[in-house]
Each structure stands twice: as C-alpha cells, then as structure tokens.
Amino acid sequence: MILPAAQPGPGHSRQTLTVRAVLFDMDGTLVDSTAVVEQVWLEFAERYGLDYTEILRTSHGVQAGDTVRRYAPADADVVALTAELGEMERNRTDGIIALPGAEALLEALPDEAIALVTSADRILADIRMQAAGLAMPSTAVTAEAVTRGKPHPQGYLKAAALLGAEPADVVVFEDAPAGIAAARAAGMRTVVVGQAAAHQADLEPGMWRIPDYSAVTVETVRHDDGGHVITLTF
C-alpha cells in the first residue's frame, strides 16, 4: 500500500507524515557520540600524519573500515587497524547521550515497525544505545549484516524488507550525508536530524529537517493487514 507523502509547507508550519515503518540511523541521529568519534579519528590521523579535518568531513555515517581503507598508508593492515579502532570506540562511552526526545519517540513507536540501520557493528551499537539510555529495536541492521555500507542503500532496503514495508511507505531519520544519500537511493522519505552546517543545503522533495525529536508526536493505529499505520507530526 503506497501512502500519501506530506509536502513541506511554508514557514514553520507543522508537517505530517503517514508511514508503515520508521528507520533510524544511530550516531548523530539517536545518539550523540561526537566526542568519542572525534577523539578516535584524531588519534588515527595523528598516528599517520593525516588530515584530521578531511577525515571527519568524509567519515561520518560511513563504516570505519571504509574510512581506514581510504586514508591509511598503503602498507597498513586495514583489517587489524579497523579492529583496533573499533576496540577503542567500544571502550569509550563518556559523553554519549541521547538526542532530545529520542527516548520518548522510540517508546511511542511500535517495536515491530521500527529498525536501526547503522554503520557501527552490533557490539558497538549495543554499547552506544545502552550508554545513551535507549532501548535497541528488535530489528537492527548493523555493519556486519550488509556487504555494502552507506551511501549504498542496501542497509535501508534490508531493514524495510525485514519489517515487511515497501520503501515508499518508510521514513528514515538520518544526519550524515552518506546516510541521507543511502535513504534517498532506497526511495525512502527522509527527515534530516540536526543543524550541522553540512545540512544547510536546500532540501529535495520528500525531505524535511528537524533539530531533534522534542516536537515530534506520534499516532499509531493497527491496519487491517496486521501492520501499523504511523502518523508522525513535527
């Protein structure tokens, strides 16, 4: 069933989306892990004399292994280095918090209609969600569950399929350019979370922007087919 898509209105008017499933990125979207991420990539950049600013600009939302492969010296052991960086991230949770309103939104949505789609592996995803005080959705597509990471749409398409939803009936909450590109390539409506400078470009049709989840409200009804019809207002 294809649901009607809301269109952005003028000014600051409230927008309404009706969907069958809701997909979330994690870092920067549900969880603010900026301090840890920047610390780990700074150490990586300093070790190899790399441009830290450029690494941060291109790594957000991308699997760590893809970033290591892109920037590490030609003779580096990419697999071992990626594992080392992953262990560093897993051992650092100071400063990790949930975005405002994230906990209430996750609790208001039916678990069988939501999924996490993250470039982190499952262990790291569990650690960061727990550190932020957020419940992990039953459906989670993490790094090891895909063969191609964001900006490829595989993760979002897989999550929609696991939830039994068509891409046109899904909304994705994302913050990173790579993740936004993945959601758009999957044919899904997309809400960009946060106010970072990278997100100040004009939005395409089927895209919206919110600073956080503080003003998001949810109404859910059970459909005749057993699934859910979810109305999000923001």
- Give the whole-angstrom CA distance, residue 206 versus residue 188: 8
Q: In this structure, what is the dihedral angle of CA atoms 2, 201, 63, 53, given to the nearest 10 degrees? A: -170
Q: What is the CA radius of gyration of the chain?
A: 18
Q: Decide if 56 contacts 198 (C-beta within 8 A).
A: no
- Give the residues across from 233 on adjacent strands: 16, 217
| Inter-residue contact 179 to 194 (CB < 8 Å) | no
Supply the residues annotated as catalytic.
25, 27
Q: Rounded to whole angstroms, what are the CA distances from 68 to 14, 48, 50, 120?
A: 41, 11, 11, 14
Measure the CA–CA gap between 19 and 174, rounded to whole angstroms. Answer: 16
What phi and psi, each to the nearest 5 degrees, are found at residue 28? 85, -10
3-state class of 142 per DSSP?
coil
Helix (H, G, I), strand (E, B) or coil at 120: coil
Number of other residues whose CB lies within 10 A of the CB of residue 55: 19
